[in-house]
């Protein structure tokens, strides 16, 4: 698509006069939402950030982040997020522990239902992210950031020269496994069924790789190493034979997909078949291809390809600048 193409704009009567209405509300307090908060706060728009069920977003559950520019020695994910929050608050952003339940996008100002309260806003930045799917084993949850990860691009480097496992049977698992062979001496791909959901080409590529071994009909029962806060191996069970075994690995990467947090927008905005928000010119949201005025999406909720802190922050900046432009064009 031509990046400068201006798609048709959905017709809605805008009301910019009411003073109890917020200029902008940001859904989500991950790096996309907080970057948008820094920019809109510095533009004096007094943004309200709804923190959602995971304050700080995905970076708040990880440990060392080594690829965010400006931190030559790396920075702990929660510390990076805390810094972004402080920066946003310093310029006047307000953070609220609340979750969007539903929204009315048919009349302006937009009305957000957050449970007992309704918030009216002239513009909205959706930065609600996409949560990685986990196995939800207690041992796995305890070891996230200590050898358990859902992001090979982010954490693969930490396991150079080690043996690791990748869980899943689809294209993302194959992609993660292939990528991880750059660092690991051996990658064991564990799939719960005999069949793979991956495309033929990806499966063949992974199967042909000398560093990748396959285990099928196998499930992880426990991640070993909780006492040491460091993955030592996996306790596995073969679903066909019932036989249990232990696989010594230094890391487990989940490749079983992500869940975009866009349920509140089903039927209201254009989503792709997996539920990610479709955007035009990076951050403009649409319904039936027409732009929804003043509603922007940024970060992992509209980006299934890169899913990085820096790209999320970058699109958070773009959304904030579009909010400023939109309000200015409408006389605020």
Ligand X SMILES: Cc1cc2nc3c(=O)[nH]c(=O)nc-3n(C[C@H](O)[C@H](O)[C@H](O)COP(=O)(O)OP(=O)(O)OC[C@H]3O[C@@H](n4cnc5c(N)ncnc54)[C@H](O)[C@@H]3O)c2cc1C
Enumerate the active-site residues. Answer: 151, 154-155
Stretch that binds ligand X, among 2-10, 150-158, 224-232, 243-251 (CB under 6 A): 150-158
Which one among 52, 168, 260, 314 touches ligand X, defined by CB under 6 A?
Answer: 52
CB of 128 to ligand X, least distance (A): 4
How many other C-beta atoms are found inside a 10 Å radius of the C-beta of residue 217? 15
Fill in the per-residue mask, 211 to 250: x = in contact with ligand X (CB under 6 A), - = not in contact: ----------------------------------------
Indicate the residue among 27 and 323 with the shorter CB distance to ligand X.
Answer: 27
Of 154, 178, 247, 327, the one binding ligand X (CB under 6 A) is 154
Burial of 79 (0-12, 13-18, 19+ CB in 10 A): middle
Q: Which one, of 58, 269, 28, 290, lies nearest residue 151 by Cα? A: 58
DSSP character string of 248-264: --SEEEE-S-EEES-GG
28 binds ligand X (CB under 6 A): yes
Question: For ligand X, which residue of 300, 320, 326, 327 counts as binding (CB under 6 A)?
Answer: 300
Among positions 65-84, residues that touch ligand X (CB under 6 A) are 65, 67-68
Which residue among 84, 256, 312, 323 contacts ligand X (CB under 6 A)?
312
The secondary structure element, H or E, covering residue 205 is helix 200-208
- Within 8 A by CB and 6+ apart from 200, the residues are none
**Pairing of β 233-238 and β 218-224:** antiparallel
Instruction: Give the residue from 20, 29, 22, 23 showing the smallest Cα distance to 99.
Output: 29
The site for ligand X (CB under 6 A) is made up of: 27-33, 50-55, 57-59, 61-62, 65, 67-68, 99-100, 127-129, 132, 144, 149-151, 154-155, 261, 264, 299-300, 307-310, 312
């Amino acid at each position: 698509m031509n990046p400068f193409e201006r798609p048709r704009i959905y017709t809605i009567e805008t009301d910019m006069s009411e003073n109890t209405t917020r200029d902008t509300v940001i859904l989500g307090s991950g790096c996309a939402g907080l970057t948008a908060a820094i920019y809109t706060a510095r533009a004096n728009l007094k943004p309200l950030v709804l923190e959602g069920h995971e304050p700080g977003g995905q970076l708040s559950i990880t440990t060392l982040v080594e690829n965010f520019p400006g931190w030559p020695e790396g920075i702990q994910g929660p510390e990076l997020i805390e810094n972004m929050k402080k920066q946003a608050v310093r310029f006047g952003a307000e953070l609220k522990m609340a979750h969007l339940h539903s929204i009315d996008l048919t009349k302006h100002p937009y009305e957000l239902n957050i449970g007992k309260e309704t918030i009216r806003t002239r513009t909205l930045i959706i930065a609600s992210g996409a949560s990685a799917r986990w196995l939800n084993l207690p041992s796995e949850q305890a070891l996230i950031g200590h050898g358990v990860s859902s992001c090979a691009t982010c954490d693969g480097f930490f396991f150079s020269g080690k043996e690791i496992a990748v869980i899943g049977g689809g294209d993302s698992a194959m992609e993660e496994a292939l990528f991880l062979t750059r660092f690991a001496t051996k990658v064991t791909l564990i799939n719960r069924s005999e069949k793979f959901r991956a495309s033929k080409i990806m499966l063949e590529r992974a199967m042909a790789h000398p560093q990748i071994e396959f285990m099928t009909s196998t499930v992880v029962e426990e991640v070993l190493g909780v006492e040491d806060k460091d993955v030592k191996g996996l306790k596995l069970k073969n679903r066909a034979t019932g036989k249990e075994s232990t696989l010594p690995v230094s890391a487990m990467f989940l490749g079983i997909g992500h869940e975009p947090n866009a349920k509140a927008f089903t039927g209201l905005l254009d989503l792709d078949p997996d539920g990610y928000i479709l955007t035009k010119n990076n951050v403009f949201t649409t319904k039936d291809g027409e732009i929804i005025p003043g509603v922007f999406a940024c970060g992992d909720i509209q980006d299934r390809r890169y899913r990085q802190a820096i790209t999320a922050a970058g699109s958070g900046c773009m959304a904030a600048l579009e909010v400023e432009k939109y309000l200015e064009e409408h006389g605020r």
